[in-house]
Amino acid sequence: MLLPRVGQTIRLVFTSSSDDTRRQTFKSRVVDLKDGVASIELPTSEKTGRTGLFGAGDACEVWYVGENGSCYEFHSAIIGRQIEHIPVLFLQLPPKEEIHRTQRRNYLRIEFTLEIAVKLEDPIRSYHFLARTIDISGGGMSFSCDETYRIQPGDNLKVWIAMPSKTGQVQHAYAVMEVVRQKPAEKKGMHQWIFGKFVQISEQDRAKVVRACYNRQLELRNKGMAQ
């Protein structure tokens, strides 16, 4: 399994701290790896932006998204801290066989409105238009668009996806999506819904989509809108 790397963003849920801390997800970054121990920046709450009081023995669940777009998780604990130079915590890394890979095929699908550009190249139907997603995952998405676009199951659509990031910059991903279902507009003037799966996407762009989905889920969870 894939160990976190230096510079890797990780998220931690502490299981042996106070009730307030246990209800929060903390974000950190790996700054060094040595002898089975990861030195990480002081974790900050995704909800409040503040760090907590963590010390040796604090157990936690750790998860992160690898470059291949898969999510990895493992049980761990803080085994020490350093306050000189840059304050860091020391996180025990488990054997590789204890790191679990999740979302292998069933990527996290979440309701998420994102702007996309869609292109269909066809001898008769040649379309290039803007639309908005209804939901999205690392494996596919659905979107709505004007019913005048005659999109059918089996069509391959080129899609460019614009996604927000924590830094405020917009990230872009490109994919080819095969349409698997089309839901006609319920009333005249309303939009049709298009459902599809990605049949061509780079692992780098898939990872961008997966990260955006997890960040969106965390945002909703911290607002009390998701389980």
Q: Give the start-to-end residue ranges of the domains of the chain.
A: 9-102, 110-222
- Tell me how far apart the alpha carbons of residues 152 and 126 are, in angstroms, rounded to a whole number: 13
What's the one-letter identity of residue 214? Y
Residue 213 — φ and ψ, nearest 5°?
Answer: -65, -45
d(CA 173, CA 206): 8
Task: Give dist(CA 110, CA 182) in Å, integer.
Answer: 19
Give the pLDDT of residue 106: 55
| Cα separation values, 8 from 51, 130, 160, Å | 18, 33, 26
Look at the domain 9-102 and name its fold.
Pnp Oxidase; Chain A (2.30.110)
| CB-based burial label for 195 (10 Å; 0-12, 13-18, 19+) | middle
Per DSSP, 166 falls in state T
Contact 184, 152 (CB under 8 A): no
pLDDT score, position 90: 95
Q: What is the pLDDT of residues 16-25, one digit of tens each?
A: 655 555 557 7
Please state which CATH number belongs to domain 110-222.
Answer: 2.40.10.220
Residue 150: which H helix or E strand, with range? none
Residue 208 Cα to chain centre, angstroms:
7
Task: For residue 43, give the amino acid letter.
Answer: P
* Pick from 204, 211, 218: nearest CA to 174: 204
Would you say the C-alpha torsion 218, 27, 137, 176 has a positive or negative sign? Answer: positive
Q: Is 207 helix (H, G, I), strand (E, B) or coil?
A: helix
pTM: 0.56
List the chain residues with pLDDT less than 50: 104-105, 226-227
Calpha distance 26→100 (Å, rounded): 19
The whole-number pLDDT of residue 210 equals: 84
Q: Is 133 exposed, middle or buried (0-12, 13-18, 19+ CB in 10 A)?
A: buried
Q: Which residue type sits at 122? A: D
Note the pLDDT of residue 189. 77
